[in-house]
Amino acid sequence: MAEPVRDLSRLRALAERATPGPWEAEGDYKSPDILACGSVVAVTIASDMKPPVDKANAEFIAAANPSAVLALLDEVDRLRRALRHILDGALSLPRFAEAEARAALGEPANV
């Protein structure tokens, strides 16, 4: 599992400055693929990829657009606030759950 990203502010700033969309994947997936968003166009070239993989990659990149990233970041913020609320004593947790919650927030576990 990848190390969790604690500071998401750079990703949020990048998403806020990017062209909002809609983003679309276009192409025949046999030649360079095109990701289009208004006047912004990105061409993906993966010479070692087969067409179904190229198509899946292009569709994923288009789906991971600034609006989607901002929605995910908002959800991370909401969940972190909920964890903070729990850890501040609004609810009681079993010891193992408290340790997991603190780890999710990047805090040391209380022993």
Instruction: Tell me the per-residue pLDDT of 25-44, one tens digit each, with 9 for 90 and over.
Output: 776 655 555 555 565 555 55
Query: Does the structure show a pLDDT above 90 at 71?
Result: yes
Question: CA-CA distances (angstroms) from residue 25 to 19, 41, 74, 90?
Answer: 15, 10, 25, 46
Query: Domain locations in the chain?
Result: 17-64, 66-106
Q: Please state which of the ranges 51-55, 70-74, 103-107 shows the lowest mean pLDDT.
A: 51-55
pLDDT recorded at residue 17: 92
Mean pLDDT, rounded, of the chain: 74
The sheet with strand 24-26 has its strands ordered as: 24-26, 33-37, 40-44
Which pLDDT band, with edges at 50, 70 and 90, does 68 fall under?
A: very high
Query: Does the structure show a pLDDT above 60 at 15?
Result: yes
φ, ψ dihedrals at 42, nearest 5°: -120, 135
Q: Which residue has the higher pLDDT, 66 or 94?
A: 66
Query: Does the structure show a pLDDT above 90 at 24?
Result: no
